[in-house]
Copies of this chain bind each other. A is one copy, B any other.
Amino acid sequence: MNSSFPSALLENAVNELARLPGIGRKTALRLALHLLRQDEEKVTHFAESILKMRREITYCSVCHNISDRPVCSICADTTRDHSLICVVENVKEVMAIEKTMQFRGVYHVLGGIISPIDGIGPSDLEIVSLEERVKKGEIREVILALSATMEGDTTNFYIFRRLQASHVKVSIIARGVSIGDEIEYADEVTLGRSILNRTPFDESYKLMSK
């Protein structure tokens, strides 16, 4: 497709768009031609919003989440419970948990997960800063909310051991059969875990009727 481009400007834009994850060359061409049909003002807005985001976004000095200010809106919110820290991998997980509206504590964003295959070790993540937060502040509980994968489990275990000296309560989000799932089709590991971690019915019922 390369040599048949009628314009180097178009070709450059297509090359750049095709670098985005999940965008192939055909889609990139479709996107470029779409942008070409838009008003110049709209395209300027599009390009500048991306540039501005990359140049001006910063990270919260407390929880390391993406933020527009030195301290993010969650960490600055005095109505939240600052003694309850939920440890997550990235900003996406913060957004997912915020959407549930079930958590009124604060977060700690690791910026990844321990993954030897990808060359990511504990020192690449915000684990030391988590330890310092726990040592310094009046932290009641740390909730680990990492993916239920081998990497997630490794990271959970590593953090758990690093926090043992602080005698803080460390918990982990419940793993079990998803709500709406049929038992018959649940995978056996999840099903097994959901039996081991069973909840007293009256507690569970109270949660449901909340």
Contact = CB atoms under 8 A, between A and B. Distances in A.
- Classify the interface of chain A: helix, strand, loop or mixed: helix
A53 B8 CA distance: 9
Nearest to A63: B6
Contacts of A10: 53, 57, 66, 91
Interface stretch (A34-42, A175-183, A191-199): A34-42
B38 A30 contact: no
Which of under 10, 10 to 19, 20 to 34, or 35 or more describes the interface residues of A?
35 or more
A99 interface: yes
Nearest to A20: B31
Interface string A1-25: 1001111111011011101111100
B31 A21 contact: yes
A7 B9 CA distance: 32
A29 B99 CA distance: 15
B49 A94 contact: no
B13 A91 contact: no
A167 interface: no
Residue of A30, A52, A74, A91 ringed by the most chain B CB atoms within 10 A = A91
Nearest to A73: B6
Nearest to A69: B7
A68 B22 CA distance: 28
Contacts of A74: 6
Contacts of A187: none
A46 interface: yes
A207 B43 CA distance: 46
Contacts of A164: none
B9 A72 contact: no
A173 interface: no
A45 interface: yes
A46 B16 contact: yes
Contacts of A30: 21-22
For the complex of A and B, the 7 pairs showing the least CB-CB separation, nearest first, are A4-B98, A47-B47, A13-B53, A43-B54, A9-B53, A16-B49, A4-B95
